[in-house]
Amino acid sequence: MGTNDQTRSLPRGLRLVAAAGAAALTLTAGLTTPLDPAPRQARAADDGRKVLTVAVAQSVDSLSPFLAVRLLSTSIHRLMYEYLTNYDPKDNHAIAGLATKWEPSPDKLTWTYTIRSNSKWSDGEQATAEDAAWTFNKMMTDSGAATANGSYVGNFRKVTAPSPTKLVIELKKPQATMTALDVPIVPKHVWEKVSDFSEFNNDKSFPVVGNGPFTLTGYKADSYVRLKANKSFWRGTPKFDELVFRYYKDQDAAVSALRKGEVSFVAGSPSLTPAQAASLEGADNIQVNDAPGRRFYALATNPGAQAKNGEKFGDGHPSLLDQRVRNALFLAVDREAVIDKVFQGHAVEGEGYIPPRFQNYFWKPSANQKLAYDPAEAARLLDQAGYKKNGDGKRVGKDGKPITYRVLCHATDPNDKAVGKYLQEWWGELGIGVQLNCLDNVTDPWLAGKYDLAFDGWSVNPDPDFVLSIHTCGALPATPEETGATDNFICDKKYDELYAQQLAEYDPAKRADIVKRMESRLYDLGYMNVMAYPNAVEAFRTDQIRSITTMPAKAGNIYGQDGYWSWWSAVPADSSGSSDNASSTGVVVGIVAGVVVLGGLGAFAAMRRRATAGDRE
Amino acid sequence: MTTTDPALSPRALARQRRRASVARFWRQYRAERAGLYGLTVLALCALLALFAPLFVGSDVSSVTGAPGRPMTSPSAEFPLGTDQFGRDLLGLVVWGSRVSLLVGLLAAVLSVAIGTLIGVTAGHFKGWYATVMMRITDWFLVMPTLVLAIALATVMSRSLTTTVVAIGVTTWPTTARLVRAQTLAVETRPYIERAKALGGGHWHIMSRHVLPNVMPLVLAQTTLIISTAILAEATLAFLGLGDPTIVSWGGLLQDAREAGAVSAGDWWYLVPPGVAIAVVALAFTLCGRAVESVLNPRLGVSR
Amino acid sequence: MTAEATPALVGDTQQTAPGPRVRRGSAYPRYLAGKVAGAAVSLLAVLVTSFFLFRLIPGDPVKTMTGGRQVSAGQLAAYREEFGLDLPLWRQFTDYCGKALTGDFGTSYQFRAPVVDKITEALPNTLLLTGTAFVLYTALGVFLGTRSAWRRGGLGDRFNTGLALTLYSIPSFWLGLLLIIVLSVGIGPLPGMFPTGGMESGGKEGFAYVVDVAHHLVLPVVTLVAVEYGQTLLVTRSALLDEMGSDYLTTARAKGLRDDLVRRRHAVPNALLPTVTLIFINLGRTVAGVILVETVFSWPGLGGLFYQALSVPDLPLVQGLFFVFAAAVIVMNTLADLVYPLLDPRVAR
């Protein structure tokens, strides 16, 4: 084998590549290291605009306010369009939005809103009551336009605009939520040209005409959503010139991006993990905001799915219809361990249905009502209910078979899986099997009632009507084929009576009282067992954002607020001369990377050419 | 036909011949150094998995009895640190080998069994049956394997069986084609003619003559496919399509990612399961290559 | 995509076997027609599969679509009509096939936009990633494979083959995560040099945009190249070893031709033939093969879209994507079949 000849040419080729690579690496390291620790100021674009970048993961379902239901899309609509009313960032009470004043008639059936005259659409037209009336009417008459927010207008009889500053809504029945109509008001002169509301996604021509604090100027699916400040916003111009939602499908990627200053803010979905929060807490120029959340995290049991017409469906375990069994199961859930181990302190132990953040409506069980962790008591209750252990230590159902509950869990939520593992062991001790059924999309078995227990959670609005309504008999589907608003098919007469009372009660204190009685009822029933109120764990760069409004102002969250307070109020950190470090480093590294590739290819080509030349001789 | 020792029955003769060929195979295999390394690593892993209950015990995966604090870095007490429940990661990696190896093995056996069945029958029965079978095989061959496996895992419920089936059902076509080619070659040999003339039925010919002759190929295929299957199991678990209550290497990686180990820089949580996957997959690949090169030296795998 | 790589890694000549050697020029058109017809049949089969496979996912698409919000019977019926779900299954199927043949894959449930639009939006991103990686790993694989074969048994060969096999056994998603930790988050004194994910920082134009995208491209491409080049290397190597036993090479050497000349002029071109087949197969495979890497690096491509669509499940989108993935493989395999006889110099035509 004539390999001698080869040994000469191969290393030369390799040497070239290696040299190029080594040079590039040194260069890169040399260029990045000194720049990297330098303090980074608010990200300024080339012309000195202040840009606030927010890392997000959720895809936009639609940019049409008539279709969008996801949190990100609806948050963006908050920024693009004014709603009739807004929520005060301090204590959530209703304050002026597009409407400056509102008043119910004595018979509680007619609401009159005064529309402000200083709100202009971004194309220069005046925003009027006519726009609002048109928006509501469209939703009442066109089923395509009712897709997302149709439930708000279900009780409306008639909506009119007698003058540009006066909007009148007539109701079929009294409704206490008339200052919590979370419906974006769109400009009539733009939207009346839309022919098919079920297909129009509002994402083709930019900028999109709006009257909120920001104007949508660009969107690329799963890459970015870009908004610019509305200079003529009536409440005042936002401090940042531009707001960009940038996609990081992977939460770790988003956290690293924050650490490196690629983004100013990261919220996580639904929040940062304990490990991420812990690692960010020690980092320079990063502030972790660990705020009491607006969500509850619960274990729902299947009460036997049924429709309004009385038809039963689904296949929930019959033993769960016994309240003692439901209470026993919850008694065997060590909520302190859930807070300590799963949430690692980033949550508050669950009590009533509504999180403590909404003080007016927060309720907790009295000492003797409370189902505190007590496995012995749980075992006693199960024995009493007739579910005794067999020879293998397994509790048997009335059908003589060992009980195994199917627990529906969200495959995308690590907390579900973690708590599921604990349940398996806690209930295993009781003699009850757990089969964790984790799905990407739980909608189907959920709506069909094909589960025994399920991890459940809702974000609670300042007005609790919605989260209360989903447990009424009225929310059940009309027939098993349809979908109702119900959460998990709870239907309780006593609860329903209270619900009707609070809806017609226009006095806040009295209404809150009734709401608390409803929570107490819900707690005793044991169909909805709140384990925890997870905190909103989010983080932002203090060298990019000097200050930002949380909601509630004291110990509140930033992402997913009711209102546009956070992004509207954010103040950029002072910028110094070297404000563009991050991107210039990026450019340099990019160029270096390009050089490596080109160098490698060049070396390869050069070797070939040399060899060919050699052949020609 | 003429020179056999009349003292030996045909069956004993066949057994003797088989033993001799196994001995020959082993002699040649021993010459493959990489193959030996692979085999040694595999033997160690198999022992570790089999005797894992002795070292770690099944309570290593218990969350309520977790001995440590969540996500602590390696220490004297926990050589590889702890996971987000405070469980010992070293124990989990050892325990996870059981599931990963089992799934790899079962999936490969399923895959090769389907492949062999279809390959042998398609090679033996010609005509429309073979045409249809080979069309199906070709069709599976062009399906993007991972996409199909993900689809299957989504369609079925999340369990070990699902993982095994999803991998087995998507990886068999190569085996089928190889086995069919070999079957066709074997069936042209004169003794098959003779067996047919003596009245041997289809079953007899396939099981007595064809199968023993394709067995070495099947063995090589199995070894190579196990390596693929272990990687595929890790992939499916990583994408969240495995059973979350079972500890496997891929599942550990998925847990690590979900817990935020990547951005927290907790490399000690990510490295061990990945290394375990890579080492075992590599070991199976080395063995497979060694077997192949013994059976078919012309391939020049390790010349 | 380590996990889906062809199992018989080496010397699996059956799998990468070219079509029948064409003996005469006149036979080629017939051969071509046969291959194209076969591909068309396969595409139809894929179309059928894409429709039925995902109908196995239990559940009512309309209920999933409305995500548990309250919907009246009337609205449900309207949705069913809008998406053609009120028709019997066979009608849905014929409608689907008919429309698909004209390039219409329906409307995505979750995005309310034509499936074709969603796919054409993400396809360039995937092609950019896979295309770059493909060029690099093929070049690297062929280059190192040739070197390795030529000096088989040597230290370089052993090192190359060993490294290739090792990288080939590494789960690509794991390698990606490690690269993120080391090169993107930064570990110890090492600063994070590369973006953690995504394709662009946004707000850049012109040259700055190109540089920005290139910067984002580095880590995912490195990951893909690392796990993929091994296969090309090994196939090239074993093909070349086969070729090197041939008489004409011995003759060429005997004539006193310089060794690397023999290699470059004779051995490599011939041995590259099986590699070419593999290259085409890889080209088809890579489109679907980046699901994991796209997931790890938040790359806005087809893989991420598929995964997202499957979790809903957004049937029209899933069907369309599945078809695209499989069609890519079929088209590339067919191209390989067609090109092969043209390349093979031993075929007298």
For residue A553, how many other CB atoms are within 10 A of its CB? 12
Pick the range with the lowest mean pLDDT from A486-495, B217-226, B253-262, C184-193. C184-193
Which is more confidently placed, A2 or B180?
Answer: B180
Same domain, A31 and A74: no
Query: How would residue A4 be classed by pLDDT, with cut points 50, 70 and 90?
Result: very low
The verdict on A14 and A85 lying in the same domain is no
Residue of A nearest to C294 (CA): A249
Structure-model confidence comparison of residues A478 and A113, the more confident one: A113
Residues of C in contact with A593 (CB under 8 A): 214-215, 218
Report whether pLDDT(A317) > 50. yes
The reply to whether A213 falls in a domain is no
Is the bond into A270 cis (omega within 30 degrees of 0)? yes
**Mean pLDDT lowest for which of A448-457, B142-151, C262-271?**
C262-271
All residues of chain C having their beta carbon less than 8 Å from the beta carbon of residue A586 are 195, 201, 211-212, 215
Nearest CB partner across the interface for A275, out of B63, B154, B260: B260
Q: Report yes or no on C15 lying in a domain.
A: no
Q: What is the mean pLDDT of residues A64-75?
A: 89
Q: Are the C-beta atoms of residues A567 and A52 closer than 8 Å to each other? A: yes
Distances from the Cα of C62 to the Cαs of A64, A375, A541, B172, C85, in angstroms? 20, 42, 42, 36, 8
* Residue A245 binned pLDDT confidence (cut-offs 50, 70, 90): very high
Q: At residue C5, does pLDDT exceed 70?
A: no
Residue A471 lies in a domain: yes
* pLDDT at residue A614, rounded to an integer: 36
- pLDDT at residue A615 tops 50: no
Q: To the nearest whole angstrom, how far is the Cα of A197 from the nearest Cα of chain C?
A: 10
Are A275 and B157 an interchain contact pair (Cβ–Cβ within 8 Å)? no
Determine contact: C82 vs chain B, CB below 8 A. no
Tell me, yes or no, if C185 comes closer than 8 A to chain B by beta carbon. Answer: yes
Same domain assignment for residues A149 and A24: no
Span B269-279, mean pLDDT?
91
**Which chain A residue shows the shortest CA-CA distance from B85?**
A341
Give the model's pLDDT for residue A420.
Answer: 93
Residue A220, pLDDT score: 86
Q: Which residue of A has its CA nearest to B68?
A: A341
pLDDT at A47: 62
Task: Decide if A251 touches B, using CB distance below 8 A.
Answer: yes
The CATH number of residue A159's host domain is 3.90.76.10
Q: Best mutation site among B231, B236, B238, B263 for testing chain C: the one with the most C CBs within 10 Å?
A: B231
Of C4, C7, C180, the CB nearest to B146: C4
Note whether A200 and A304 are same-domain residues: no
Residues B222 and B292: their CA atoms lie apart, in Å, by: 11
Residue C4 lies in a domain: no
Identify all chain B residues contacting A539, using CB atoms and an 8 Å cutoff: none
| DSSP string for residues in A237-253 | --SSSEEEEEE-SSHHH
> How far is it, in rounded angstroms, from Cα A86 to Cα A103?
16
pLDDT in tens, C57-110: 776 777 777 665 666 677 777 778 877 787 888 888 888 888 888 888 888 887
Q: Which residues in chain C are contacts of B181 at CB distance < 8 A?
A: 14
Residue A21 pLDDT: 41
Distance from CA of B282 to the nearest CA of C (A): 5
Is the pLDDT at A13 greater than 50, yes or no?
no
Interchain proximity C12–B174, CB inside 8 Å:
yes
Examine the pLDDT at A20 and tell me if it is beyond 70.
no
Q: Can you tell me which residue has the tokens 């041997």?
A: B200
Say yes or no: A307 and A183 in one domain.
Answer: no
Please give, rounded to a whole number of angstroms, the shortest distance from the CA of C206 to a CA of chain B.
Answer: 31
Which chain A residues are closer than 8 Å to C203 by Cβ?
Answer: 45, 51, 226, 242, 244
Please, which residues 53-82 of chain B have a Cβ atom closer than 8 Å to chain C? Answer: none
Would residue C156 count as lying in a domain?
yes
Higher pLDDT, C267 or C337: C337
Residue of chain B minimizing CA distance to A344 = B70
> C192 CB near a chain B CB, below 8 Å?
no
Do residues A598 and A523 both lie within one domain? no
* B12-21, C47-56, C60-69: least confidently modelled range: C60-69
| Residue A430 confidence (pLDDT) above 70 | yes
**Contact list, C71 vs chain A (CB under 8 Å):** 482-483
pLDDT band at A23; cut points 50, 70, 90: very low
pTM of the entire predicted model: 0.81
Residue A288 has pLDDT above 60, yes or no: yes
Tell me if chain B has a CB within 8 Å of the CB of C171.
yes
Residue B80 tokens, joined: 């590889």
Q: Does B142 touch chain C (CB under 8 A)?
A: yes
Quote the mean pLDDT of chain B. 84
- Both A25 and A118 in one domain: the answer is no
C48 → chain B, closest CA residue: B139
**Contact residues on chain B for A537, CB-CB shorter than 8 A:** none
Q: How confident is the model at residue A7 (pLDDT cuts 50, 70, 90)?
A: very low
Sheet with A166-171, side-by-side order of all strands = A99-104, A110-115, A166-171, A156-163
**Does C209 have pLDDT greater than 70?**
yes
Residue A550 lies in a domain: no
Mean pLDDT, range A252-258, rounded to an integer: 85
E strand or H helix that includes residue A288: strand A286-291
Average pLDDT over residues B29-41: 86
**pLDDT score at C348:** 35
A232 touching chain C per CB within 8 A: no
Same domain flag for A144 and A30: no
Q: Which of A75-79, A271-275, A552-556, B92-96 has the lowest mean pLDDT?
A: A552-556
**Is residue A498's pLDDT more than 90?**
yes
Whether the pLDDT of residue C7 is over 80: the answer is: no
pLDDT of residue A34: 31
Cα distance between residue A260 and residue A238, in whole Å: 25
Residue range of the domain that includes B134:
41-52+86-295
Q: Under a CB-based contact definition with an 8 Å cutoff, are residues A292 and A354 in contact?
A: no
Same domain, A19 and A91: no
Q: Is B289 part of the contact surface with chain A (CB cutoff 8 Å)? A: no
C131 belongs to a structural domain? yes
C37 part of contact set with chain B, CB < 8 Å? no
Neighbours, chain A (3 or more CB pairs < 8 A) = B, C
What is the chain B residue with the closest CA to A274? B259
- Domain range spanning residue C219? 20-348
Share of chain B above pLDDT 70, in %: 95
Helices (H), chain B: 10-30, 33-50, 52-55, 89-124, 128-142, 145-155, 160-171, 173-187, 190-197, 202-204, 211-238, 249-259, 267-295
Is the ipTM of this structure higher than 0.90?
no
Of A145, A169, A204, at which residue does a domain stop? A204
**Closest CA in chain C for residue B138:** C42
Residue A148 has pLDDT above 70, yes or no: yes
Q: Which range has the worst mean pLDDT, A31-40, B31-40, C274-283?
A: A31-40
Better-predicted residue by pLDDT, C157 or C286: C157
Is A392 at the interface with chain B, CB within 8 A? Answer: no
Question: pLDDT value at position B291?
Answer: 86
Rg of chain C over all Cα atoms, to the nearest angstrom = 24
pLDDT at C152 over 70: yes
Reported as a pLDDT band with limits 50, 70 and 90, residue C289 is low
The least confident of A592-596, B12-16, C146-150 is A592-596
Q: Please tell me if residue B261 touches chain A, with a CB cutoff of 8 Å.
A: yes
Query: Does residue B252 lie in a domain region?
Result: yes
Q: How far apart are CA C109 and CA C122, in angstroms?
A: 17
The answer as to whether A474 is a domain residue is yes
Inter-residue contact C219 to C184 (CB < 8 Å) = yes
A274 close to B (CB below 8 A): yes
Q: Is the pLDDT of residue C276 over 70?
A: yes
Contact flag C198-A223 (C-beta cutoff 8 Å)? yes
Residue A76 pLDDT grade (very low, low, confident, very high; cuts 50, 70, 90): very high
Q: Is residue C13 part of a domain?
A: no
Chain A CB contacts of B264 under 8 Å are 275-276, 278-279
Q: State residue A383's pLDDT score.
A: 93
Residues A417 and A460 in one domain: yes
> Would the pLDDT of B137 be above 50?
yes
Chain C touching partners, 3 or more CB pairs below 8 A: A, B
- The count of structural domains within chain B is 1
Distance between CA atoms of residues B200 and B194, nearest Å: 9
- A341 and B258 within 8 Å at the Cβ level: the answer is no
**Mean pLDDT over residues A362-375, rounded?**
91
Q: How many beta-carbon contacts under 8 Å exist across A and B?
A: 89
Q: Do C69 and A10 touch (CB under 8 A)?
A: no
The single-letter code of the amino acid at B112 is: V
**Who's near A143: CB < 8 A, 6+ residues apart?**
A150, A198, C74, C75, C78
Q: How far apart are CA A254 and CA C198, in angstroms?
A: 10
Is pLDDT above 70 for A40? no
Among A67, A483, A615, the residue with its CB nearest the CB of C112 is A67
Tell me the pLDDT tens digit for each residue of B103-136: 999 999 999 999 999 999 988 887 888 888 888 8
Q: What is the pLDDT of residue A5?
A: 34
Asked if A404 has any chain B CB less than 8 Å from its own CB, the reply is no
Asked if C73 has any chain B CB less than 8 Å from its own CB, the reply is no
- Considering only alpha carbons, which residue of chain C is nearest residue B225? C7
As a whole number of angstroms, the distance between CA C177 and CA C220 comes to 10
pLDDT digits over C125-142, tens only? 998 998 899 899 989 998
The CATH number assigned to the domain holding B232 equals 1.10.3720.10
Closest chain B CA to residue A279: B264
Residue A608 has pLDDT above 70, yes or no: no
Examine the pLDDT at A191 and tell me if it is beyond 90. yes
Q: B74 pLDDT exceeds 80?
A: yes
Does A370 lie in the same domain as A315? yes
- The domain in which residue A606 lies consists of 2-35+582-611
Note whether A450 and A435 are within 8 A (CB): no
Average pLDDT of every residue of chain A: 83
Which chain A residues in 97-156 lie under 8 Å from chain C, judged by CB atoms?
Answer: 143, 146, 151
Asked, for residue C108, whether it belongs to a domain, the answer is yes
In this prediction, residues A593-599 reach a mean pLDDT of 58
Contact residues for A247 (Cβ-Cβ < 8 A; gap 6+): A55, A56, A57, A222, A223, A224, C198, C298, C300
Helices B128-142 and C315-343: angle between axes, nearest 10 degrees? 110
Tell me if A553 is assigned to some domain. Answer: no
What is the total count of domains within chain A? 3
Residue A444's CATH number: 3.10.105.10
Among the candidates A180, A204, A228, a domain finishes at A204
pLDDT for B199: 80
Q: HSE, CB side, 13 Å, CA atoms: give it for residue C91.
A: 7
> Which of the two residues, A29 and B202, has the higher pLDDT score?
B202
- Looking at chain A, the whole-number percentage of residues with pLDDT higher than 90 is 48
